[in-house]
Homo-oligomer: A and B are copies of this chain.
């Protein structure tokens, strides 16, 4: 008997390639290339494109030029342009740049918070209080992102109840939606369902999102498991942009093309044109000379090339 009869009818795909993906590139990507990529992605119909991070270029040189990127894009009605902000200085720059959603972040493991944010989880969220208030005043959306929710490179296992506690704090901060991130891609479907079940006790399931890395190849199975719980928003990165900072050579973000292929195959509407996303993936991987990490993207590019009588040469 089918177990897929009660999936969401519409799923929001949040494209994180231009920020989360390109942030892991060793060489900075020119502003013009980022603008071109973001415009291709919004034109494809993606409802949310994480376009920038207003962080100190001293810490994250890849994100220098975020204001220029935001000034250069062609804003498409129907697409929210989101940006990561670490503090009020970043928030002011983000508001000046006209972002539609700001992303604040914490972790589900104290070990990870101490190592990456230099404070406790609770402190890290409290520090965002002024940012949250500024977001409300300015009428921009506030998104909370919770790292290492399915496992931590320093601490190992993470309990669903620990994730739910961070969700509760993010909800208290006033977040409009909250991402559960498997930052190192170690989760499997049962663990994913347990984390979303626990988190949904603290925040509505339809405002939770899954951010899965494909490091162990599990991302689409995890998305399927989360869809069965009623989760209707997922993050992904065109061409799978962004490696895994915790395992050299390993895979990072799940590819948007693969997620769209899954959702459309399940009869779920996304409002996104898969072909346009595949072409955007081909564009950016050629522009920055990186392999295309989308399996659906590579297969479709090879298929289209064969149909055109061209030699298929997707790497």
Contact = CB atoms under 8 A, between A and B. Distances in A.
A271 to B, nearest CB: 18
B218 A262 contact: yes
A29 interface: no
A298 B249 CA distance: 7
B225 A4 contact: yes
A312 B4 contact: no
Contact of A190 (B2, B189, B214): B2
A26 interface: no
A295 interface: yes
Interface string A290-314: 0000111011001100100001111
Interface in A212-233: 214-218, 220-221, 223-225, 228-229
Contact of A247 (B221, B261, B303): B303
Instruction: List the 6 shortest-distance A-B pairs measured between CB atoms, nearest first.
Output: A188-B265, A217-B258, A217-B295, A248-B312, A247-B302, A220-B221
A197 interface: yes
Contacts of A257: 217
10 contacts: A1-B197, A189-B224, A216-B295, A216-B296, A217-B257, A221-B223, A224-B224, A248-B302, A248-B311, A250-B298
Interface string A154-195: 000000000000000000000000000000010111110110
Chain A interface bracket (under 10, 10 to 19, 20 to 34, 35 or more): 35 or more
A3 interface: yes
A197 B2 contact: yes
A296 B191 CA distance: 17
Nearest to A2: B193
Interface of A: 1-4, 185, 187-191, 193-194, 197, 214-218, 220-221, 223-225, 228-229, 244, 247-251, 255, 257-258, 261-262, 265-267, 294-296, 298-299, 302-303, 306, 311-315
B2 A221 contact: no
B2 A249 contact: no
A266 B188 contact: yes
B295 A215 contact: yes
Contacts of A4: 189-190, 193, 225
Given A218-B258, A225-B3, A261-B218, A295 B251 contact: yes
Nearest to A302: B247
A314 B249 contact: yes
A194 B303 CA distance: 26
A183 to B, nearest CB: 13
A239 B2 CA distance: 31
A28 to B, nearest CB: 23
Contacts of A216: 258, 261, 295-296, 299
Nearest to A315: B249
